[in-house]
């Protein structure tokens, strides 16, 4: 089953500068072929259900290896059966309603 | 890897009464041995990473079968390596700080 | 406008034991008359829009005073115009579908 | 208190095509001076606490006016006292760890 997901991974117990951890997770998601799109509060991915959650598990494992005793992820995951939709489709759909065309 | 998670499953395209869908998902999570604890905005589960996300995938599949063309889940998932902690431990830990003892 | 909300408040930069911070926030929400119901991954509240978000702002301020340089809250907030619904109604609605009666 | 927030607004009871509702909310957030940055699973904003949550309340009110009997928003809101940080700073911080420079 295809999934569009938004992830925010937060390591706890490693201070307040989290960007090195977020970057490591971004690399893992990219290597898994999930095409992560970073934004200011997380990253969006698309892929098969199993691939997405296996990659996220590797993110947790890796952040623990990097020294985080606790890792908490907030995520939104969407599936639909009415039509095939990509992350880019979702953005374009709203942009068109806002009267913003493709560049 | 053991996981504590909080899930809010929302079927879209089936109107505003969602309790039958939420109940079906609750059954699936219970059958998977995840001991779901229902609350007003979702349900909490504990179990192994793979078991939790396989059960959630079945929830999405089942809600699609029940007629929902679109299903979106918001979830928080936490792992920790410093100690073993259950859902009940988390509640007790805060309750004790509030000066509320066990019944 | 009446709101049902679920909050998970996470202070960053204060280590991995967060229960004292969560308890302080629970007190603030209770004092604001929002009837917080604690669960393993957060707390649920009900009240007017302005009251809920003013209380949450006080939680952030208080956690900063307690020493957290960074506070991040994940929340779900719902409003509806079709009927009046309480937190307890939401739980009862699912429980009844599960064939669990009131005690 | 300055806030960085990520919002996902979901109207229920209006079918599965939500982009017109999301676009309307995007307009309200922009008019409130919150500089929304749309992405595939929501939008990010920055501004003062009161301004952010007043604008989000207007989003809920407007979506109800447009016919949605139920509106649910998932949001992440972060505050910090250790330094001033913008949405763009957060992205740049991770990008630099990934070895991606400014264009």
* One pLDDT digit (tens) per residue for chain B, 103 residues: 999 999 999 999 999 999 999 999 999 999 999 999 999 999 999 999 999 999 999 999 999 999 999 999 999 999 999 999 999 999 999 999 999 865 5
* Cβ A4 vs Cβ A37: under 8 Å: no
- Whole-number pLDDT of residue D51: 98
Which residues in chain B are closer than 8 Å to A74, comparing Cβ atoms?
74-76
The rounded distance, in Å, linking the Cα atoms of A16 and A24 is 16
* Cβ A34 vs Cβ A26: under 8 Å: no
Which residues in chain A are closer than 8 Å to C18, comparing Cβ atoms?
12
Question: Taking each helix axis from N to C terminus, what angle separates C19-31 and C49-65, rounded to the nearest 10 degrees?
Answer: 140
Which residue of A lies nearest to C75 if distances are taken between CA atoms?
A: A74
pLDDT band at D46 (very low <50, low <70, confident <90, very high): very high
Which residue of B lies nearest to C22 if distances are taken between CA atoms?
A: B94
Mean pLDDT (whole number) for A22-45? 97
- Whole-number pLDDT of residue A56: 98
User: CA of D57, closest CA in chain A: separation in Å?
Assistant: 20
- Name every residue in C having a CB less than 8 A away from some CB of B: 4-6, 8, 16, 19-20, 22-23, 26-27, 37-42, 44, 74, 76, 78, 80, 82, 87-88, 90-91, 93-98
**Paired tokens of B92:** 């007790």
pLDDT band at D76 (very low <50, low <70, confident <90, very high): very high
Give the global pTM: 0.95
- Whole-number pLDDT of residue D100: 85
Res A86 pLDDT > 60: yes
Residue D61, Cβ density class (10 Å: 0-12 exposed, 13-18 middle, ≥19 buried): middle
User: CA of D67, closest CA in chain A: separation in Å?
Assistant: 17
Does the beta-carbon distance from B73 to A70 stay under 8 Å?
A: no
pLDDT band at D58 (very low <50, low <70, confident <90, very high): very high
- Name every residue in B having a CB less than 8 A away from some CB of C: 4-6, 8, 16, 19-20, 22-23, 26-27, 37-42, 44, 74, 76, 78, 80, 82, 87-88, 90-91, 93-98
Which residue of C lies nearest to A75 if distances are taken between CA atoms?
A: C74
- Whole-number pLDDT of residue D102: 56
**Secondary structure (H, E, C), C34-77:** CCCEEECCEEEEEEEHHHHHHHHHHHHHHHHHCCCCEEEEEEEE
pLDDT band at C4 (very low <50, low <70, confident <90, very high): very high
Does the beta-carbon distance from A96 to D19 stay under 8 Å?
A: yes
* Cβ C71 vs Cβ D4: under 8 Å: no
- Whole-number pLDDT of residue A69: 97
Work out the end-to-end distance of chain D between its first and last CA atoms, rounded to an integer number of angstroms.
32
Res A101 pLDDT > 80: no
- Whole-number pLDDT of residue A100: 85
Which residues in chain A are closer than 8 Å to C15, comparing Cβ atoms?
12-13
From the CB of residue C65, how many other CB atoms can be counted at a distance below 10 Å?
Answer: 10
């Amino acid at each position: 089953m295809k999934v569009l997901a938004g992830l925010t991974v937060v390591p706890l117990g490693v201070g307040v500068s989290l960007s090195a951890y977020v970057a490591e997770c971004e690399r893992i998601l990219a290597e898994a072929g999930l095409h992560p799109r970073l934004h200011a509060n997380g990253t969006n991915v698309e892929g098969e259900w199993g691939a997405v959650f296996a990659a996220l598990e590797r993110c947790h494992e890796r952040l623990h290896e990097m020294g985080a005793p606790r890792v908490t992820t907030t995520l939104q995951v969407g599936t639909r059966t009415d039509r095939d939709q990509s992350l880019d489709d979702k953005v374009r759909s709203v942009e068109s309603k806002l009267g913003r065309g493709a560049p």
